[in-house]
Amino acid sequence: MKHLILVALLLGVANAASAGDSGAATDRYNAWGWYCDSQPVVDFWEQALIGNEARGRASLCATPFGMYSSMRVRGLTAGNPYTVWWVYIDKPEACANFPLTPETAPIPVPEPIGYATPCGLADFFTPDASGEFLNPLAVFGRMDGAIVRSRSLANFQGSLRSFEPSPGSQIWLFVFGHGPAASGDKRQLARQLLTPEDPGSGTPHVGIEGQPLGYPSAVAVFRIP
């Protein structure tokens, strides 16, 4: 419990230290050698698909006990559920280094440029050096989720205990939008809050069949020194 309280304090310090900066990457180590950083939340496809520009700040601390994160995101749609996903890329130098086009993206919208250079959506499907497709470069899992209630604002937080990222790795906090909440269908609402609703995630339990219902809304990217 003590280290969780300390991590919460460190996340607060990371947020406060970056409140007035320009969003440039900053490497912060505290007296214990724990890495804490704060990065801007940038719009991915929220504006292109919904008309709102997602924005905000995200903080992350990597400690000997695990990784801990928080996000404050504005510009989301009230009444819609959103999920946040950890994305871990251990060796970014192996990334495909090309953005998806409307013809190749899961949704017919071009992928933003440069948000996680040299990595991107293609690396969810890029095999490792051995060519093993079932061992892609990007590893991901659910961090948090909520229905946005008012003011188009949502707070998310999560922990990945017992995990220390490798030096030079990338960590994304990836926000997925899921359209209007299926409040009258609890099974579908559970899918909206627990899964990406993307067939590429693995049908039928994590994904869906056919076209994706979930879409990448916003992202914050951390680069571990």
Over residues 40-66, the pLDDT tens digits come to: 999 999 999 999 999 999 999 999 899
Mean pLDDT (the chain) is 86
Backbone angles phi, psi at 62, to 5 degrees: -105, 120
pLDDT one-digit tens code per residue, 164-197: 999 999 999 999 999 999 999 999 999 999 999 9
Q: Confidence class of residue 14 from pLDDT cuts 50, 70 and 90?
A: low
Q: Is the pLDDT reported for residue 16 higher than 50?
A: no
Provide the b/e sequence for 93-122 (b: ≥16 CB within 10 Å): ebbbeebbeeeebbbebebbeebbeebbbb
Does residue 25 carry a pLDDT above 80? no
The pLDDT of residue 201 is above 90: no
